Amino acid sequence: MQYNISKKAKPVDRHPMTFMESLYIPTIAKGLTITLGHIFKKKATINYPEVQRPFSSTFRGLHILNRDEQGRERCTACGLCALSCPAEAITMESAERKAGEEHLYREEKYAAKYEINMLRCIFCGLCEEACPKDAIYLTQTFAPANFERKGFIYKKDDLLIPETEASKKLN
């Protein structure tokens, strides 16, 4: 008994080749026609990385740790982002702000260490939603390729948005 798993299956034709078939010319011509047809079609690929497609407006990429308008770090190491992270990708250590450090940290407690493991991260954006201080958000860039796993552990210095010239002058 023969079972047809897929109705698309076609039995292989094993008849002896005719004289025209043995010349291969009609088959080659048919193949070249298909190739020529594709030359004039719009390309499905782009010359990446020279050409890059714009991301969707809802794309969520690499994280950034935000500063306030005076250039102070917004993060208060409350841990809500780490708690809300389904991939357990965020780790941090908190520290208390000392006298004279008010121009560096906005809150009395700050993240002395802050790390995101981009190999674990699923870019869901829950950390951004959970943050009560508007301190973390996901940008429209992605983590570049790396040959080593440790290259995907983003530390605070990698995540912290650079100070603007204007905020440097304020401090």
Q: Is residue 64 involved in binding ligand SF4 (CB under 6 A)?
A: no
CB of 119 to ligand SF4, least distance (A): 11
- Which among 150, 149, 162 is positioned nearest to 67, based on CA atoms? 162
Total of residues contacting ligand SF4 (CB under 6 A): 28
Q: Is residue 77 involved in binding ligand SF4 (CB under 6 A)?
A: yes
What number of CA atoms fall less than 13 Å from residue 41's CA on the CB side? Answer: 9
CB of 129 to ligand SF4, least distance (A): 8
Distance between CA 95 and CA 82 in Å, rounded?
16
- Which among 112, 165, 115, 164 is positioned nearest to 136, based on CA atoms? 115
CA dist 135 to 5, 23, 96, 120, Å?
56, 71, 17, 20
For ligand SF4, which stretch binds (CB under 6 A), given 6-14, 36-44, 76-84, 152-160?
A: 76-84
Q: Mask: binding to ligand SF4, 29-58, rule CB under 6 A, as x and -?
A: ------------------------------
Neighbours of 35 (CB within 10 A): 8
Taking CB under 6 A as the criterion, the residue among 62, 64, 71, 89 binding ligand SF4 is 89
Q: Is residue 110 involved in binding ligand SF4 (CB under 6 A)?
A: no
Q: At 86, list the tokens.
A: 């389904």
Taking CB under 6 A as the criterion, the residue among 64, 67, 72, 75 binding ligand SF4 is 75
Q: At 8, list the tokens.
A: 């698309």
> Which positions lie near ligand SF4, rule CB under 6 A?
75-81, 84-87, 89-90, 92, 111, 116, 121-127, 130-131, 133, 135-136
